[in-house]
Structure 1
Amino acid sequence: MWYRYTSGIYTDLGAKKLREMLFNNTKITGLFCFENRKTIFEGVHRSFKFVILTFEKEGKTEKFPAAFMRQDVKELQEFPKNNGLPISIDLVRKLSPDSLSVMEFKNELDFHIADKMTKFPLLGEKVEDKWNLELHREFNMTDDAFLFKKKPEKGTLALYEGKIIHQFTHIFAEARYWIDEREGRKALLKRNEVDKGQKFDYQNYRLGYRDVARNTDIRTMIAGILPPQIFAGNTLVLADPFPKLNELLFVCAVLNSFAYDFIIRQKVTAHCNMFYVYQTPVPRLTKNDRSFNDIVQRAAKLICTTPEFDELAQEVGLGSHQQGVTDETERAKLRAELDGMVAHLYGLTEDEFSYILTTFPIVNATVKEAALEAYRNFAPMFAESERLALTH
């Protein structure tokens, strides 16, 4: 049997039960995904994806051939004999235990790198004595629209949307709406809860990332740190406040890295849903781990560039926003160094990291070259760290 679907059939949480049924009760013979780049379907956006799924009734699937991000439907004539990549159900379950989402592997190296990175815990796992990530949304852009004001007034706070932030910056665009703080607090109160002046999440530094994202964009994961006294709409997914601000900066640095983006962009289609993020592997470094402080200090210089971040800068040892870096050349250098270090944290070889960089075709070549050069520069330091770890 064969059916035509959108790519949500193999990625979206809502299709999990269907995938479970297909894996356990049918023999999948092919999963072919193609983009509408050549306007095969008129009136449909060129980045929209379609899927041809074939399977036999009864049986069980251990592995199946797949092809992703194809642009020429004619390739279907040779699939899966000449262009099918075998996908293991065991790896699907390892990478996406809660949703059974299928990552968009393009070749065997994609498969190998993803498998290698799964030695780290998924973000949805609770790890004892380590930082943990809890995600949520704050205000709904439709249901809560009656609270929104189009101009700032006395007592109002800006409402941030996903497009307002970018990697390591909270001021990529201007706010469109504001919410009266008293009305906002009232709306955020839990059932039967009374406002006694208690501290709410919006009064803390928080990690936020853009919900609207595609794996065909220049970057898929776009995360930043929000200063206190900011409300957020549902297009900006938020993390619960971190008790330790240095760990908050570490997480932001990892999420904005090429290495992490390589994993998340193979899951995302049009939205970077929470369950995708929860099912990505991330090293859970803390202050006693090697490289942790080096990463935190670089992230702090990128983030703490305005007075709103003085408290954060002081907390992590940077001093104030005046020690933050605004020069674009220097910021590019810091970002390249973070990318190089995070690639080492994941245990990637130079060839693997070099390949990952090729999967970001829209990113400027000089940015990728700088990241790779930084990886090479840090190689001796990480090799020594691994040697010391083995001797203790």
Structure 2
Amino acid sequence: MNGKKAGTDINLYKLFTEQCFNLLRSGGECGIVIPSGIYTDLGTKQLREMLFSQTKVTGLFCLENRKIIFEEVDSRFKFVVLTFEKDSTTTEFPSAFMRLDLQELQMFPSEDSLQISVDMVRQLSPDSLSVMEFKNGVDIRIAEKMGKFPLLGEKIENKWNLVLCNEFHMTNDSNLFYINQDAGRLPLFEGKMIHQFTHQWGKPHYWIDEAEARKALSKKQGDTGQRLNYQKYRLAFREIARNTDIRTVITTLLPPNVFANHKLFLSNLNNISLINYQELLYTCGLLNSFVFDFMARQRVTTSISMFIVYQLPIPRLTKNDRYFNDIVQRAAKLICTTPEFDELAQEVGLGSHQQGVTDETERATLRAELDGMVAHLYGLTEDEFSYILTTFPIVNATLKEAALSAYRIFAPMFADSEKLALIQ
């Protein structure tokens, strides 16, 4: 592979793409139909580097299979018609994403095709060179605004840093799973058991003996009775995440004394200096927002990897920053609704789970306020936020209008903050 393929997963389209490049003479042109992972996946980063630096990409046309262009292929599957010319370089390239009609390919590229610059790709995805699925110039403008904030995986001194991990694998660790809930066994959480701001979306199907689990988790450092990660509140989000579903990023906090399978990514709290509970709640509030989801959807097809999450920008507020506590309190009221969260509620000043909000109308109001505040944090205009909301077609219109109304309500507060910053 001459170093062109990164990662250990062997997908044939990667080999074919590189071989097409090798077979071309200087100035030769190639057109190939391949999965959309060519412009998103970490494992194709070096292929993208090759295409940008050693070819002129003349087109990136992405189609969804909803009209069954390819039979016996899932209708949500995305593939791309990639064209390039050997022995040149790419500064920008024409693109089209999420197209449904094959006839559009006959008119591509055209003067109206969306041009994406390689410099912007490098700015937004410095570690992966992933190409985001922009639809128009508004997408690009929003991405540039959001891209001014540090990536979630970037290590920053004197700020909280999120480290993610997995726990038990459904196949490799299946010997630990029991289907009966007996004494000494704790529930195994799966991705389908959580949703935004709730851990009660489904019932557990498996339990794990706590003593056996501790032995498995403490293999390297030994079990001295220390408090392990599973005994703490942890941020968790689903790996399965389609950009065509009602929401893509789905995250909440898990209560202590539960385990999780590999389809849930978890915050690693073994090093307490990395991030505290308030900062976990703040992060959860931002990750579940429409704005963050909008950014994630442009990188996700059928799942969201740890790497994708690490590559998304987020304002790294802490307890000394304005609006940090406002977001923490709202997220806490949404999450701390059962006795398992009493300790967390008390730590963040909520008292107990009885101050949590279970009424659906009140919960919708809290979520709308979070969405409005997050849009302001990213510096988005009302028109830009309104546009983002239109990209969630199957979300109830009432919920979107509530988020936009909250944005308008918070506008004076954030405007005053911006003026104060300028004066300082």
Q: In the alignment, which residue of structure 2 is the partner of 1:201?
A: 229
CA shift for structure 1 position 82: 5.1
Q: In the alignment, which residue of structure 1 is the partner of 2:55?
A: 26
The counterpart of 2:70, out of the listed 34, 41, 46, is: 41
2:162–2:275 contact (8 Å) kept in structure 1: no
CA distance in 2, matches of 1:342, 1:326: 22
CA distance in 1, matches of 2:275, 2:257: 17
CA shift for structure 1 position 69: 0.3
After superposition, the Cα gap between the structure-2 partners of 1:243 and 1:64, relative to the gap in structure 1 and judged at 3 Å, is: closer
Q: In the alignment, which residue of structure 1 is the partner of 2:248?
A: 220
Q: Report the secondary structure of 1:2's partner residue.
A: strand
The one-character-per-residue Cα deviations of 1:72-125 (angstroms, maximum 9, x if unpaired) are: 011000011155211111111111111111100000110110011111100111
Q: Report the secondary structure of 1:45's partner residue.
A: coil
The one-character-per-residue Cα deviations of 1:294-313 (angstroms, maximum 9, x if unpaired) are: 11111110000000000000
1:67–1:83 contact (8 Å) kept in structure 2: no
Identity percentage of aligned residues: 68
CA distance in 1, matches of 2:219, 2:300: 32
Q: State whether structure 2 residue 291 is matched by structure 1 residue 230.
A: no
1:139–1:233 contact (8 Å) kept in structure 2: yes
CA distance in 1, matches of 2:275, 2:41: 32
2:161–2:275 contact (8 Å) kept in structure 1: no
Q: In the alignment, which residue of structure 2 is the partner of 1:12?
A: 41
CA distance in 2, matches of 1:46, 1:148: 34
The counterpart of 1:103, out of the listed 132, 139, 142, is: 132
Q: In the alignment, which residue of structure 1 is the partner of 2:318?
A: 286
Q: State whether structure 2 residue 397 is matched by structure 1 residue 369.
A: no
CA distance in 1, matches of 2:112, 2:37: 22
CA distance in 2, matches of 1:372, 1:42: 41
CA shift for structure 1 position 243: 4.4
Q: Which amino acid aligns with 2:314?
A: V
Q: In the alignment, which residue of structure 2 is the partner of 1:253?
A: 285
Q: Report the secondary structure of 2:149's partner residue.
A: coil
Q: Which structure 2 residue ranges, 5 or more long, are not aligned?
A: 1-29
Q: In the alignment, which residue of structure 2 is the partner of 1:321?
A: 353
Instruction: Say what the alpha-carbon RMSD is for the aligned residues.
Output: 0.9
- Taking structure 1 as the reference length, what is the TM-score of the superposition? 0.98
The one-character-per-residue Cα deviations of 1:172-197 (angstroms, maximum 9, x if unpaired) are: 01111110001111111243x22110
CA distance in 1, matches of 2:411, 2:222: 54
2:372–2:403 contact (8 Å) kept in structure 1: yes
Q: Which amino acid aligns with 1:257?
A: S
Q: Report the secondary structure of 1:22's partner residue.
A: helix
Q: Which structure 1 residue ranges, 5 or more long, are not aligned?
A: none
Within a 5 Å distance, the mapping from 1:1-392 to structure 2 comes to 1-81=30-110, 83-191=112-220, 193-241=221-269, 243-392=275-424
- Taking structure 2 as the reference length, what is the TM-score of the superposition? 0.91
1:211–1:236 contact (8 Å) kept in structure 2: yes
CA distance in 1, matches of 2:275, 2:159: 11
The one-character-per-residue Cα deviations of 1:241-293 (angstroms, maximum 9, x if unpaired) are: 26421111000000000011111110011111011111111000011111111
